[in-house]
Structure 1
Amino acid sequence: MPDIPPLAVSLGDPAGIGPEVIATASARREELGLPPFRVIGEPGGAVPGEPTRASAQTAYEALTEAIALVRRGECSGVVTGPVSKAQIAQVAPGFIGQTELFADACGLPHTASVMMLAGPSLRTVPMTVHCALADVPGRLSQELIVNRSRIVARALQRDFGIENPRLALCGLNPHAGEDGRMGREEIDIIAPAIAQLRAEGIDATGPHPADTLFAAHKRASYDVAIAMYHDQALVPLKTLDFDEGVNVTLGLPIVRTSPDHGTAFDIAGKGIARPDAMIAAIRMAGDIAARRLVPKTRAS
C-alpha cells in the first residue's frame, strides 16, 4: 500500500457499539495489516445502551470533523461509525443521513452519491432506498437507473480496479414481470435503461428475476447486482455477509465507508459486538484511498 495520509474513523454514537468495535480494530491493526487511522470523537460520559442528546452531539461533531480532515488533506478517507439518525436530527435539524451529509459537504446534489453494500460474496446497489415499498414503482425511472448505474460503473473502475465492470439489473416484479403479466416496469423502465447503458458501452444485463440472481452460480457472472429497492439489495447481502458487510458511498470525491450495521444499543457495552464489519470497512477505505492515489489500470 502506498504511503497515504491516515483514515479518519468517526466514533459514531458513543452509546452504541462504535467505540468498542473501533477499539478492537485499533488494537489489532498491525496484526490484521490495516491502514493507519485516527479515531475522531471522545466517548465522554456516554453510557452504553443509553443514547442522549449529548451522545448524538458527539456523533455529529465527530462526523463533521472527520469530513473536514479529509477536505484539508490531513486524512485520506472517512470510515463512519454507526449513528442514530433520529438522535442526530434532535441536535442537527435537517439531518437526513451520513451519505447525504457527505454529498452536502462536497457541494453536490444527493443524487450524485450512490450507496453500495459490499461483502466478500456480493456487491449490491439499491436504486431506491428508504421509502415505503408502495412508493417504489413511482420512484423508478429510466433516468434514475441509468444515472446511478453510470456512477456505479465508474466507481467500480476507479475504486475497485475492475476494468470492465459487469452490472446485473434485477427486475422489480416476481419473475421479472413475466413479459408484462405481473407488471410493466421491466418493459417500460428497466429494459430501456439497460439498452441505454449498453449503448454507452456499459456491460449491463437483465432484467433478471431477483429470486435466482443471488444464487452462488449466478453471482459469478456479475460484479454488482443493481436492485430496485432496499430489501431486494440488503436481504441477500446481509444473509451472505452479515458480519462483514460494508456500506460504501460511490460517486463523491471523498472516500467514505461504514460498517453495514447500526448502533446496536441493545448490546452496547456487553462485550459481544463483533468488529468484523468495522475492520472490513477500514480495510476497504484504505484500499480505495490507495487506488485513488495511485490509479491502477489492471483489473483486480
Structure 2
Amino acid sequence: MKWEGQRESDNVEDGRSSSGGGGGIGFGGGRIGIGGIVVALLASWAFGVNPLTVLGLMQGGHVSAPQQQQAPTPATHPTDPSARFVSVVLASTEDVWTAYFARSNQKYTPPRLHLFRGQTATACGNGEAATGPFYCPADQKVYIDLSFYDTMRTQLGAPGEFAQAYVIAHEVGHHVQYLLGTSEKVDRYRQQHSQREGNAISVKLELQADCYAGIWAKLSQQSKNWLEAGDVESALNAASQIGDDTLQRKARGTVMPESFTHGSSAQRVRWFKRGMEGGQLKDCNTFEAGVQL
C-alpha cells in the first residue's frame, strides 16, 4: 500500500502519553480482566460500535455509566510510522466522504481519531486496549490502541497494511451511519425488541459498516491508485478472520448463530466486496430484508 507522502489528517489526537494502563473494565461492581474479555471479543472485538455494551452483558446487562472525559486532546501530527499510517488513512476517509456527501449537497463532518495506550476515558465509557478499536457516537470519535494491529497479525491471522486500513474505514463507516441517522434508529429498535432481535439488527449495522469500508476502498483507489498486489486480499482476509463464526469456532469449537452481533465471515467478506464493487450507499442496504427501522 503506497501511503508514504500522502496527506495526513488534522483530526488525530495522540493521547498515548496520558493514557493509563492496567487491567480490566468495571461493570456492576466487578472488573473483567483479559481472560474474561476474550469471550466478549467473540461478539465485539472486531470493530463494534461500542464493544463495552457486550462486556456489560457478561455482567448481567449492567454497563457502568459513561466516564467523565479528560480535557480534549489537541489534534497533532504524530511522527511514528504506525500513527502516521492511520493518520493518512483517516485523511483519505475524509476526502472520500466529504466528496461523496457534497455530491448530494450535504456536508460531511469528519470524526476525530483518538490514539491511546492501555485505557482511556470516552463519552461512551472507559475504553481499553483489550476491547479493540471502536467508534463512540457520543463524542464522534474513533478510538484505537495501535497494539491491536499486532493482535491482528499474530493472533487473528490478519496481517497487511490494507487490513489495518480496513479497521479504520469500518469505524468511520459507523460515523457515516451516525451522520445519516441509521445508528439512532438501530438503537431505538434494540430498546424495543428482544436480545435475539437486537443481535440480528446489530449484524445488519456491522455489515453495513463493512460495506461502507468497501466504498471507501473503491473511491480511495480511484483517486490515489495506492493499492498494490495482495492489498485487497489482505482486507478480505481480515473481514473473514473476524467473522463471528470464525471467532467462536477458534475460541470454543462451536458456533452459535443466534449470538452473532457482527456477521459471519462469509457475510463480512460479501458486504465489503459489495461496497467495493458498487461504490454507492444504495449498494449497502443491509436492512432491506426483514427489518423495518
TM-score, structure 2 as length reference:
0.28
RCO comparison, higher one (Cα < 8 Å, 6+): 1
TM-score, reference length from structure 1: 0.28
Question: Per residue, is there more helix in 1 or in 2?
Answer: 2
Structure that is richer in strand per residue: 1
Larger radius of gyration between Structure 1 and Structure 2: 1
